[in-house]
Amino acid sequence: MLRVQAGDLEAFSQLVQRFQNVVYGLAMTMLRRPEDAEEAAQDTFLKVFRARGSFDPSRSLEPWLLRIAGNACRDKLRRRKAAALPAVAIADELAMQIADPRERSLQHQHADQAVRAELDRLSDKVRQPLELKYLRGLTNQQIAEALGISLSNVKVQIARGKDILQSRLQKVREA
């Protein structure tokens, strides 16, 4: 980051390559639209470059970058006034995480669909920490930084989300 602060574009390119998947994954989880996630990721790296002088080299880069990314996503959400987020984006993302449906039994396919549907029904406040942890592999601390909430709030929202999903999925199994 010191090289980036000095204006080294090659170092900035390396920083982008290193963190682009994490930033895009966070943006996709928060925004749930690939085109919005791409735009937010680009905004994030533009803001990082513009704010490079304000980075404190005695601190860790990743939390600072994730906070900028989370803020870029929240800005995008504020600008996007209309409409509920589409269920298609989360279904597509989860589909990439599971095995080829042709190789799975119908029972497993039904369960996968039920999980996707119930996850989509969760509020953003509960859904986002769950997705960031279990689909994106972020730590609780990274989630807190990215969403701008406390670590204890992350833990509460993850536990709450798991409880809600378990309860809703139990009803699906009994039906």
Interval 26-37 mean pLDDT: 93
- Asked, for residue 30, whether it belongs to a domain, the answer is yes
59 token code pair: 């601190």
| Domain that residue 122 falls in | 105-174
Task: Give the model's pLDDT for residue 97.
Answer: 52
Interval 85-92 mean pLDDT: 44
CA distance 56 to 78: 28
| The total number of structural domains that make up the chain | 2
Q: Tell me the pLDDT band of 43, cut-offs 50, 70 and 90.
A: very high
* DSSP 8-class letter at 103: G
- CATH for 159: 1.10.10.10
Mean pLDDT of the chain: 83
Of 3, 26, 108, nearest in space to 73 by CA = 26
Digit-coded pLDDT (tens) for 98-112 = 545 455 566 666 777
Residues 160, 111 within the same domain: yes
- Asked, for residue 85, whether it belongs to a domain, the answer is no
Instruction: Give burial (CB, 10 Å; 0-12/13-18/19+) of 166.
Output: exposed
CA distance 123 to 40: 21
Q: Tell me the pLDDT band of 87, cut-offs 50, 70 and 90.
A: very low
- Asked, for residue 72, whether it belongs to a domain, the answer is yes
Phi-psi category of 60—alpha, beta or left, where left has phi over 0 and alpha has psi -120 to 50?
A: beta
Residue 168 vs residue 21, higher pLDDT: 21
